[in-house]
Amino acid sequence: MNKLLEVENLHVHIRKGRRSLVAVEDVSFALEAGHTLGVMGESGCGKSITFLALTRLAAPNIRIAQGEALLEGKSLTALPDRELDALRGKAFSMIFQDSISGLNPLLKVGRQVAETLEIHTRLGREEIRRQVLELLVHVRLEDPEIAADKYPHQLSGGQRQRVMIAMAIASGPKLLIADEPTTALDVTTQLQILGLLQDLQKETGMGMILISHDVAVIRQMCQEVLVMYSGQVMESGLADRVLCHPRHPYTAALIRSVAGVGQKGHPLHTIRGTVAPLEQRQTVEGCVFADRCEVRCQWHREPVPLQTLEDGRQIRCHRKGGVEHL
Ligand SMILES: Nc1ncnc2c1ncn2[C@@H]1O[C@H](COP(=O)(O)OP(=O)(O)OP(=O)(O)O)[C@@H](O)[C@H]1O
Ligand SMILES: [Mg+2]
């Protein structure tokens, strides 16, 4: 198979005062070219930090302490900053939830898309203008000429997200990392943007990483999934298998917690407790999910084995084969 991105044993640390806190621990996964990997888990589980660290967009107090990441065979962890900057936009790019802070409020959006093109090409003004409009048409922005002449606050959230996507795909990246790209949007706009991302992916063959805590979105968009909890991967494998038949108690609880949403009279399940803050997690031994797990075992303080199950998925759980039904 053709691996676009391979991440092996990634550890990310955050410096707080004089302490170095472990935020992400032993994360490994691979993404095939043209596939979409979903990354899910509750708030604070380390989804964003994993990818911000890999793309060196994280705050200066956050660093990769261990591990390797290869994008088309090039080491993202070992490349000097300048060489990584050269890959940004061309080999990979990122879009975020918050399109208003991702855009410069003082510049018209057409100019901002033009600047992205100017970084990577030596085209003349007319050609840049032509390509900006082409990109805005491509992301299905209505009246692109008029929209290009507007400031970010004059556009709707969905329109702004389309501009962000135009900037992200301007140089034809092989990998697009989308961190909660539709969370801030209403349901109809959300579906349109997800449909757009799917179409762009079909056209270009780019690989995608989609970070979302919305199980339905992951189900619709992704071939593979990574379920994170407390900075670790709890379960990973084919999205169909993992989401329809979860085998880790955390995945099962996450899916059950959304199963009844929107259905009248359906009891709402929540996972008891909350994700522990980073400081508290540092002292947890063994299973990080134990204090919230409904089937916690006695030996939860022992190191947790990573098991590979018969369908190829992996779970980090003491129970042999995980759970069948929860
Ligand atoms: N710059 C930072 N300084 C200190 N701690 C941070 C920083 N950024 C993130 N953290 C902490 O790291 C942990 C993981 O955060 P992260 O943003 O990756 O979570 P997430 O899974 O993306 O959550 P959400 O779904 O809310 O976006 C959290 O405990 C968070 O408080
Ligand atoms: Mg996040």
> pLDDT tens track of the chain, all 326 residues?
679 999 999 999 999 999 999 999 999 999 999 999 999 999 999 999 999 999 999 999 999 999 999 999 999 999 999 999 989 989 999 998 877 778 999 999 999 999 999 988 888 999 999 999 999 999 999 999 999 999 999 999 999 999 999 999 999 999 999 999 998 889 999 999 999 999 999 999 999 999 998 899 999 999 999 999 999 999 999 999 999 999 999 999 999 887 655 556 655 667 888 888 999 999 999 999 999 999 999 999 999 999 999 999 999 999 999 998 65
CB-ligand 1 contact for 274 (6 Å cutoff): no
- Is the Cβ–Cβ distance between 113 and 167 less than 8 Å? yes
Q: Tokens 């409020």 belong to which residue?
A: 105
The Cβ of residue 145 has, within 10 Å, a number of other Cβ atoms equal to 12
Atom number in ligand 1 closest to CA 97: 27
Nearest CA to ligand 1 atom 17: 48
The Cβ of residue 219 has, within 10 Å, a number of other Cβ atoms equal to 16
Ligand nearest to the CA of 179: 2
Cα-Cα-Cα-Cα dihedral sign, residues 33, 36, 42, 44: positive
CA–CA dist 136, 166 (Å, integer): 6
Question: Which residues, by Cβ under 5 Å, contact ligand 2, an ion?
Answer: 48
Q: How far is the CA of 231 from the centre of ligand 1 (A)?
A: 9
pLDDT in the model for residue 122:
84
Q: How far is the CA of 43 from the centre of ligand 2 (A)?
A: 7
Question: Cα angle vertex 287, ends 20, 297, to 5°?
Answer: 160
- Is the Cβ–Cβ distance between 52 and 260 less than 8 Å? no
Ligand nearest to the CA of 46: 1
The pTM (predicted TM-score) of the whole model is 0.94
CB-ligand 1 contact for 46 (6 Å cutoff): yes
pLDDT in the model for residue 272:
84
140: left (phi over 0), alpha (psi -120 to 50) or beta: left
CATH topology of domain 3-91+173-316: Rossmann fold (3.40.50)
Longest CA–CA span in the chain (Å) reads 69
Give the pairing of strands 207-211 and 36-40: parallel
Atom number in ligand 1 closest to CA 41: 21
Where do the domains of the chain lie?
3-91+173-316, 103-171
CA–CA dist 160, 197 (Å, integer): 14
